[in-house]
Amino acid sequence: MPNFERVASVAEAREASPQVVRVGGRTVGLFHHEGAFYAIDNRCPHMGFPLSDGSVEDGVLTCPWHHARFELSGGDTFDPFADDVTTFPVEVRGGEVYVDPDPERETDPATHWRARLEHGLRESLSLVIDKAVIGLDDAGVDPAVSLRIGATFGTEYRADGWGSGLTTLSAMATLLPALRPADRRRALAVGLGAVADDCAGEPPFFVQDPLSASGVSADRLVEWFRETIEVRDADGAERVVRAAIRAGLDDADLAAMFVAAATDHRYLDAGHRLDFVNKAFELLDRIGWDHADAVLPSLVPGLAAAERAEERSSWRQPVDVAALVEAASDDLPALFATGEGEPWTEPADFVDRLLGDDPHDIVDALTEAVVSGATSVQLASAVADAAARRVAQFGTANEFRDWNTVHHTYTYANATCGLAARTDVPEMYRAVLDGAMSVYLDRFLNTPPIPLPDPDGDRDPDAALDDLLETFEVEADETVGRAGRHAAEYLASGGDPDRLKRKLGEVLLREDAGFHPRQNVEAAFTRYDAADDEGRGRVHLVATARYLAAHTPTRREGEQTFRIAERLNRGEAIHEG
Ligand code: FES
């Protein structure tokens, strides 16, 4: 039902144009132009500047601030960065001007905001993406819808395939349950913004058809996939992946296929490729495996082109750790068969042994465990604990960029855990061995090792948490150590780990944190939640608190844009006019 309200006499509206009127709780700009009246939301959809201060010419309203232009009758913008402005129906009756402040819209809010999200992704406009995510959330739309839109866009519009953007989106999706409700949409906006950034200016992903052969066994498909990746034939590998999906391989079979190809060479692209595989599988768990045909082929270009760690001197000299892994891998099927079904209990010093200075002994520790029945899940978890220690004991006298080195090992180890939970094929143990060798190679970054904090647990948890949060506000090396100590104090004093995670998530999302801190926090939460032993799990939260402290504060530009988007969607005035 139209609900027109009188706003002015015709004479007054002509005389005062442009005029600001309040109607239905809204601030509306009333324009008289070329003999007609137009009513629009007076807040510029870009940054909220009063459009009544703008100028009108030939049916086009120009905002005076950043000069965005809007078609006056429908509100469509000529400048996509600004977004369209809302318009309202106007009627003239008996010498009076009436405006309907709440007209029935042609599209429901969910449909409207989905379209806006797709537009924001195409144009890489963070404000439009943020507003769309908030609008979808306010409309009660399941976050999986935004994730699906992001996954579809990210896999279609990047010729290089799966990258840091989609990885960030998947990591943010994993974080959602640990976050405050108010931060969940921030996380979605961060993930979707990262996808848009990653695709901006990139050529699209041209799809290969699946191989048409039918009745091919899963084993043969795996072999074809490995052979095509081996010779860096991305097109052929993509056709095999599509054929495997069409043949009905389930997620465990597909995980086995990707793990095999991703571990035929060592630690691809500093571990990123296996992490991306894991993140793609995790995203499919959330958006539905019916999207496998879009998501999994996007992993192929990166796998085919990846740098193989055996090509790096650090994996060859002074100890040829690549050869160590390859020699152990040759024995894996026999070792695996010997230990299969045996219960293995992790020795008390196992993680310390993985942190040792002798790579031969580290490989021995792992292969002995395999013979004794250790599963890849158990071994991957132990390597991830060792990798967390490298972060938790990272010395700030190192070069700042060396944080990346321990971080890469850590996220790789976390990915190994995720994939080991899907498949226990022998190749999974190669991934564990690669992770262990990377932990070994990172040992100089713990020289001397910063002691792990071991507090008494007699602090007020609230005070420890306040102290921790302060460390994220100061840019100084010494805050890194303090952050780890206060996180440990909080937990040792009985502080609620879920509250700590919510706070760390809040800090992460308000900062322009970038790819690595976002990965790091997500990996730490995942490993903490998966830990059998709470005390051992704590190391992960201590490690990520230190990592965050090293990477904060930032300018918080993204947070500022998000807050403007929230205020615009709520209908708040941002600039009076
Ligand atoms: S163009 Fe209007 S506020 Fe930026």
Q: Which residues line ligand 1 (CB under 6 A)?
A: 44, 46-47, 49, 63, 65-66, 68, 82
Which atom belonging to ligand 1 lies closest to the Cα atom of 64? 2
For the chain, what are the domain ranges? 5-99, 109-199, 218-305, 313-446, 461-558
Helix spans in 231-316 (H): 234-246, 251-262, 272-287, 292-295, 300-305
Gap between the Cα atoms of 414 and 304, Å rounded: 22
Report, in this order, helix, strand and coil percent for the chain, each rounded to 5.
60, 10, 30
- pTM score, whole prediction: 0.94
**Contact present, 411 and 271 (Cβ < 8 Å):** yes
Q: And the tokens for 385?
A: 């604990």
Closest CA to 71 of 61, 56, 81, 57: 61
Beta strands in 400-466 (DSSP E): none
Could you read off the pLDDT of 288-301 as tens digits, one per residue?
999 999 999 999 99
- Distance of CA 44 from the midpoint of ligand 1 (Å): 6
By most ligand atoms within 8 Å of CB, the mutation choice from 42, 46, 69 for ligand 1 is 46
* 5-99: CATH, from 3.50.50.60, 3.30.70.100, 1.10.420.10, 2.102.10.10: 2.102.10.10
Pick the CATH number of 461-558 from 3.40.50, 1.20.272, 1.20.58, 3.30.70: 1.20.272
DSSP state of 397: T
Ligand 1 atom 3: residue of nearest CA? 47
CA 513 to chain centre: 11
Phi-psi region of 341 (alpha: psi -120 to 50; beta: other; left: phi over 0): left
Nearest to 269 by CA among 167, 380, 157, 354: 167
How far apart are the CA of 140 and the centre of ligand 1, in A? 29
User: How high is the pLDDT of residue 135?
Assistant: 97
Q: What atom in ligand 1 is closest to the CA of residue 54?
A: 2
Per-residue model confidence (pLDDT) at position 576 = 58
Residue nearest to atom 1 of ligand 1 (CA): 66
Query: How far away, in angstroms, is 45 Cα from ligand 1 center?
Result: 7
Tokens of 173: 């999706």
Q: What is the pLDDT along the chain (577 residues), one digit of tens a residue?
A: 789 999 999 999 999 999 999 999 999 999 999 999 999 999 999 999 999 999 999 999 999 999 999 999 999 999 988 889 999 999 999 999 999 999 888 789 999 999 999 999 999 999 999 999 999 999 999 999 999 999 999 999 999 999 999 999 999 999 999 999 999 999 999 999 999 999 999 999 999 999 998 899 999 999 999 999 999 999 999 999 999 999 999 999 999 999 999 999 999 999 999 999 999 999 999 999 999 999 999 999 999 999 999 999 999 999 999 999 999 999 988 888 888 889 999 999 999 999 999 999 999 999 999 999 999 999 999 999 999 999 999 998 899 999 999 999 999 999 999 999 999 899 999 999 999 999 999 999 998 888 999 998 999 999 999 999 999 999 887 899 999 999 999 999 999 999 999 999 999 999 999 999 999 999 999 999 999 999 899 999 999 999 999 999 999 999 999 999 999 999 887 775 5
* Torsion angle of the four alpha carbons 141, 142, 145, 151, in this order, in degrees rounded to the nearest 10: 140
183 Cα to the center of ligand 1, angstroms? 26
| Domain pair 109-199 / 461-558, same fold | yes
| Distance from the alpha carbon of residue 65 to the mean position of ligand 1, in angstroms | 5
Q: Best of 40, 41, 43, 44 to mutate for ligand 1, by most ligand atoms within 8 A of CB?
A: 44
Residue ranges in 265-358 assigned as alpha helix (H): 272-287, 292-295, 300-305, 321-339, 350-354
CA dist 114 and 135 (Å) reads: 9
Distance (Å, whole) CA 378 – CA 350:
11
Q: Separation of 96 CA from ligand 1 center, angstroms?
A: 31
Q: Which fold has domain 109-199?
A: Zinc Finger, Delta Prime; domain 3 (1.20.272)
Nearest 5°: the CA angle 464, 469, 470 is: 100
Tell me the CA–centroid distance for residue 49 and ligand 1, in Å. 6
